[in-house]
Structure 1
Amino acid sequence: MRPDIVIPVLMGCALLWWIGRGMSWTTRFIVAAITLVVIVGIVLLERSWN
């Protein structure tokens, strides 16, 4: 695995954990799902430009 992918993913997980400490599990899953959708959208948009 490339570090330019692994490091942002780990940082994102740490940030979600830090922010999500006061959230319920349902809210955490919703935030994680929205984050993944945004990431996939950005990756697809970036690939379509190249």
Structure 2
Amino acid sequence: MQLDVVVPVLMGCALLWWVSRGMTWTTRLAVSAVTLVLIVCVVLVERASR
């Protein structure tokens, strides 16, 4: 794996853990899915602009 994929995923997981302390598990899963989709979109847009 390349660093430009690993770093955003780790940062997203850390932020999700910090924000989701008061959420239920279903809400956490939904937020996780949305976060991962956004990270993938940002990485794809960045690679397309190169």
Between the two proteins, the alignment pairs up a number of residues equal to 50
Counting aligned pairs with the same residue, the percent is: 64
The structure whose Rg is larger is 1
Deviation per CA, 1:2-35: give whole Å up to 9, x if none.
Answer: 6665454333322211211110001001111001
Q: Which has the higher contact order (CA 8 A, sep 6+)?
A: 2
* 5+ long unaligned stretches in structure 2: none
Q: TM-score, normalised by structure 2?
A: 0.73
RMSD: 1.9
Q: TM-score, normalised by structure 1?
A: 0.73
